[in-house]
Amino acid sequence: MEAPRPSLADGVYGAELERRVDEAAAAIRTRLAAVPELARPRLAFVLGSGLGNVVQLLDRDPRIWIPYAEIPNVPGSTVEGHAGEMVAGLASGIPTLVLSGRAHAYEGWSHREVTVLLRASLSLGITIVVVTNAAGGINPSFEPGDVMLITDLINLSGDNPLRGPNLDRFGPRFLPMTDPFDRSLLAQARAAATRAGVTLREGVYLMLSGPSYETRAELRMLRTLGADAVGMSTVPEVLVARHHGARVLGFSLITNKATPEMKGEVTHEEVLAMGPIGAGRLLALLRELLPGLA
């Protein structure tokens, strides 16, 4: 057995992490086996706050709903705007998993724990992962309701889901991250936005640990660092997906101004209220994108 490591006090790493991932994957595999055309998913969506309508991309039938509470070792989300369920279906003929809602590190989980569900999903054969989030717009030209194509990442969360003994069967010890997002998928997303008539912003997403929003001094710092949007998620999923060898595409819905000059305070209610506007635009873009992924 592996000796305890004080720097990884949650104990969810190495053989224990692999056991949890395999147990979760087995439970999902068993549920999907009931519908053969859904048994080998190739595409996964990870949905952020207020983005549950992406489930509309799936055909009405067949569908399988699996609450996170019914998947072993998967933490549920306590945050409003996150459904906390997996929905399996066909999207433009592609067997797809929609992870509707996510657990966050600020709820008390490590990055290894919050990505158990995605690792389990990737173990089933997922080759493309589309990550989404609600984010504050650091770039002063961004407006609430904008959709931003994520072109790069900055991880200032203080954690990394790849810490601890490497799971060699999933990926390498030292993961290259010079280009976290697949260039071909980025080009396809731009073309899909044009066809859908959606104005697509582009920029760098920066992750902080949360759950508090940023001070004005922090926002000045983040702008200096080169961030265009800031949030409290997404980076762990991108790292894990890339570790498994999946191609990744990401979008941020800009729900609020996050500039040092902004007036008033940011609230979670404001974030949720702006979500449907950007979500409708993202849905239109994804409808155009999906046929090219088949």
Residues identified as active-site: 49, 82, 104, 106-107, 134, 232-233, 256, 268
Closest CA to 180 of 243, 233, 226, 121: 243
Q: What whole-number distance in Å separates Cα of residue 277 and Cα of residue 134? A: 12
Closest CA to 98 of 71, 58, 134, 128: 58
Closest CA to 53 of 210, 230, 253: 253
Contact assessment for residue 228 and residue 137, using Cβ atoms and an 8 Å cutoff: yes
Contact assessment for residue 42 and residue 268, using Cβ atoms and an 8 Å cutoff: no
Q: Is 34 left (phi over 0), alpha (psi -120 to 50) or beta?
A: alpha
Q: What angle do CA 160, 182, 111 make, to 5 degrees?
A: 15
